[in-house]
A and B are shown apart, each in its own frame.
Chain A
């Protein structure tokens, strides 16, 4: 057993650090802070630069343009990006590409993976519908076989990125007569296909997501990922990867460290918040859970390197990370007092507004990517072998 990074991995970390020191500008950080999830012009250029280095596909096999390195190395890479406040939650790369590598046909892999690496292809997730959230097996969007293709009709909601992505990864019903989760399939197709309409809706933090309406959208049969009617399995794999990514610990660690630094600044009468044992107690508890999360993230990355799809671990990581993010933001704000309410761009904002931003984001982390209730069911039933309720 060995919990340390190898010398090669440490060297890789140094290489990334040097690259980031040379290429990350304050203007880029500023753009990310104001533009939310979608990369602006500087972000796009930066992503292209990462693509050229081959670093978007660190853990992918070499034959598809990846670097054939380990997941541990990939997580080192995202860790270093996060430390520089570069948070591109790009699920195309971290979840969908990983799923394509596992489940797509050879032709599809050759078609999509190199273009994803070059940053030409960004895919949004079309799972949720007004009537199908946690219960994804109830999706009503239909894909009907017609000639050598399918005709898709239905509605998706909360389709984040549909207004800038090039493609959609869509869950639709292909066999209405089969049992609910045995009649679904997954498709990828371009969003500019005729019949697709994208409309904005806004979240409570003011960020855009979308409704997507599909009206008699004609797509070729080659758009289907995996065998017909195995879509529920496909998205289960994609969601496991997604949870590993959502449950990243670096952003949480960085916010925690910034909070500790902020607490150590001298306040009125020269004493700092950190001098207060009531504050220390809370910080210590948070620290212990940040460490727990770090270890669990290491474990899921290691599992992926062993060729496994982390399942109960991925769910546990997502639950732990989302609840810790909320507790850290909530209690951290309490510790700092009223100024913690200030948002990015306001005078006197502490920690550049990251804590306030994280506090507004945290409710979503607890139900996005599969709700924490559903994750606990997965841990109990698939992980611990308990009977279904």
Chain B
């Protein structure tokens, strides 16, 4: 058993922290929200130059095939910095899916530019009855002259306007076979509708009206595809648990600093037992959330039995802890923390965004209810 990072892992973690505090300060996060924009690409390219986008990928595609704890350390730091990057969506989910499911030719073609920061991918797999009109069919592929045609609608696509391709889940007309295709958001027949979320600043609903696809835009098909998609989202959820723990720890530190500094009744508010208990509870939660995240990640990496349940525990524990820690920090900061120009609310929004990602909390609670 070893519950700490190796010196090399710690070194990378420190480097990521330094980079993010320089390149992705809260002022950038706030500006992205105010202007509803995606991360400036030059910052993303610099992250690529440092080799960070290649961590999950095989060396044959230009990646470094790193261990998962190193990758998790990076993701934890992203969460700490209130992650303005598309790392979770573009690298962890889409890039990894491409490596899992793509043909050799597709991987050779798309993974190197992704690792170099030149190719932006975004997942478009979210469909639910509440977002559809009555009687509207699910997203469907049809065989057309010389290729495939895509029609349907997806919700909650991050940075869709900024992406080079969307990975879109669909079913084959007639057979109902599940498929995954790559579609350029600027292709003819694709419509982007901005959604206004209190969390992600750059979110879209994407409509597909008889969009023509070349054969090599079909990434994967087959009855096991939904299960493989779920597994991929599980993996992202496990890493995002580290991000949640990192974000929660940062917010707790902000609250601790403020509790030592702010004086009321002639003493620091951190000397009041009510404030101490609030922060003591937050600390216990954050510590256990962090442990749950890394246990899930290492279990998943080693493919141990019960890993899926560990992921569910990590997802629920860490994501809910992140939200609750933000609430506790708001309580400590009082009026100051509720102002637009103070930073705390940026993390509060991020916390809810992470919670809703990868299907949200309830599917994971249900998984645990079924497996107890």
Q: Which A residues lie at the B interface, using CB under 8 A?
A: 128, 131-135, 138, 157-158, 201-204, 206, 265-268, 276-279, 326, 330, 333-335, 337-343, 345-350, 356, 359-360, 362-364, 366-368, 371-373, 376-377, 389
Does residue B129 face the partner (Cβ distance < 8 Å to A)?
yes
B residues near A335, Cβ cutoff 8 Å: 362
Does residue B85 face the partner (Cβ distance < 8 Å to A)?
no
Does residue B227 face the partner (Cβ distance < 8 Å to A)?
no
Q: How far is the CA of A132 from the CA of B334 in the complex (A)?
A: 12
Beta-carbon contact of B331 and A367 below 8 Å: yes
Q: How far is the CA of A225 from the CA of B193 in the complex (A)?
A: 55
0/1 interface trace, chain B 348-360, chain A, CB 8 Å (1 if under):
1000110111011
Most buried by B among A138, A348, A372, A376: A348
8 of the cross-chain contacts (CB-CB < 8 Å) are: A204-B345, A206-B340, A278-B362, A330-B323, A337-B362, A338-B155, A359-B198, A363-B330
Beta-carbon contact of A359 and B197 below 8 Å: no
Q: How far is the CA of A356 from the CA of B199 in the complex (A)?
A: 10
* Also in contact, A268 and B334, with CB within 8 A (given A201-B339, A341-B352, A346-B196): no
Q: How far is the CA of A360 from the CA of B198 in the complex (A)?
A: 8
Does residue B3 face the partner (Cβ distance < 8 Å to A)?
no
Beta-carbon contact of A389 and B352 below 8 Å: no
0/1 interface trace, chain B 260-296, chain A, CB 8 Å (1 if under):
0001111001001111001000000000000000000
Beta-carbon contact of B264 and A356 below 8 Å: no
Q: How far is the CA of A350 from the CA of B274 in the complex (A)?
A: 36
* Also in contact, A345 and B335, with CB within 8 A (given A134-B265, A278-B365, A339-B128): no
Beta-carbon contact of B327 and A326 below 8 Å: yes
Beta-carbon contact of A348 and B131 below 8 Å: yes
Beta-carbon contact of B340 and A203 below 8 Å: yes
Beta-carbon contact of B274 and A276 below 8 Å: no
Does residue B302 face the partner (Cβ distance < 8 Å to A)?
no
Partner of A366, one of B127, B274, B330, B339: B330
Q: In the A-B complex, list the 9 residue pairs whose CB atoms are closest, starting with the nearest.
A: A363-B330, A204-B345, A346-B196, A373-B274, A135-B264, A341-B197, A202-B340, A338-B356, A337-B360
Beta-carbon contact of A343 and B197 below 8 Å: yes
Beta-carbon contact of B126 and A356 below 8 Å: no
Q: Which B residues lie at the A interface, using CB under 8 A?
A: 126-131, 155-156, 193, 195-200, 205, 263-266, 269, 272-275, 278, 323, 327, 330-331, 334-335, 337-341, 344-345, 348, 352-353, 355-357, 359-362, 365-366, 369
* Also in contact, A371 and B331, with CB within 8 A (given A265-B130, A268-B128): yes
Least CB distance, B203 to chain A, in whole angstroms: 8
A residues near B129, Cβ cutoff 8 Å: 266-268
Most buried by B among A134, A201, A334, A350: A334
* Also in contact, A346 and B331, with CB within 8 A (given A201-B339, A279-B362): no
Q: How far is the CA of A345 from the CA of B345 in the complex (A)?
A: 21
A residues near B345, Cβ cutoff 8 Å: 204
Least CB distance, A58 to chain B, in whole angstroms: 32
A residues near B274, Cβ cutoff 8 Å: 373, 376-377
Q: How far is the CA of A342 from the CA of B278 in the complex (A)?
A: 30
Q: A338-B126, A343-B196 are in contact. List 8 more A-B contacts (CB 8 A).
A: A131-B263, A268-B129, A279-B362, A333-B356, A334-B361, A348-B205, A367-B334, A373-B272
Least CB distance, B42 to chain A, in whole angstroms: 29
Q: How far is the CA of A204 from the CA of B345 in the complex (A)?
A: 6
Q: How far is the CA of A376 from the CA of B335 in the complex (A)?
A: 19
Beta-carbon contact of A342 and B196 below 8 Å: yes
Beta-carbon contact of A363 and B348 below 8 Å: yes
B residues near A368, Cβ cutoff 8 Å: 335
B residues near A134, Cβ cutoff 8 Å: 264-265, 269, 334
Beta-carbon contact of B355 and A334 below 8 Å: yes
Q: How far is the CA of A202 from the CA of B34 in the complex (A)?
A: 13
Beta-carbon contact of A346 and B197 below 8 Å: yes
Partner of B356, one of A131, A138, A157, A341: A341
B residues near A268, Cβ cutoff 8 Å: 127-129
Q: How far is the CA of A132 from the CA of B265 in the complex (A)?
A: 9
B residues near A277, Cβ cutoff 8 Å: 369
Beta-carbon contact of B331 and A366 below 8 Å: yes
Q: How far is the CA of A386 from the CA of B337 in the complex (A)?
A: 31
A residues near B266, Cβ cutoff 8 Å: 135, 138
Partner of A345, one of B128, B196, B264, B344: B196
Least CB distance, B182 to chain A, in whole angstroms: 23
* Also in contact, A339 and B155, with CB within 8 A (given A334-B362, A348-B205, A359-B352): yes
Least CB distance, A109 to chain B, in whole angstroms: 32
Beta-carbon contact of A341 and B338 below 8 Å: no
Q: Which residue of the partner chain A has the closest CB to B199?
A: A341
Least CB distance, A4 to chain B, in whole angstroms: 37
Q: How far is the CA of A338 from the CA of B353 in the complex (A)?
A: 8
B residues near A202, Cβ cutoff 8 Å: 339-341
B residues near A266, Cβ cutoff 8 Å: 129
A residues near B359, Cβ cutoff 8 Å: 337
Least CB distance, B341 to chain A, in whole angstroms: 8
Beta-carbon contact of A339 and B131 below 8 Å: yes
* Also in contact, A367 and B155, with CB within 8 A (given A348-B130, A348-B131): no
Least CB distance, A267 to chain B, in whole angstroms: 5
Q: Which residue of the partner chain A has the closest CB to B326?
A: A363
Beta-carbon contact of B264 and A133 below 8 Å: yes
A residues near B195, Cβ cutoff 8 Å: 342, 346-348
* Also in contact, A334 and B360, with CB within 8 A (given A134-B334, A278-B369, A326-B327): yes
Q: Which residue of the partner chain B has the closest CB to A346?
A: B196
* Also in contact, A348 and B265, with CB within 8 A (given A204-B340, A343-B197, A389-B273): no
Beta-carbon contact of A128 and B327 below 8 Å: no
B residues near A135, Cβ cutoff 8 Å: 264-266
Q: How far is the CA of A62 from the CA of B138 in the complex (A)?
A: 64
Least CB distance, B169 to chain A, in whole angstroms: 14
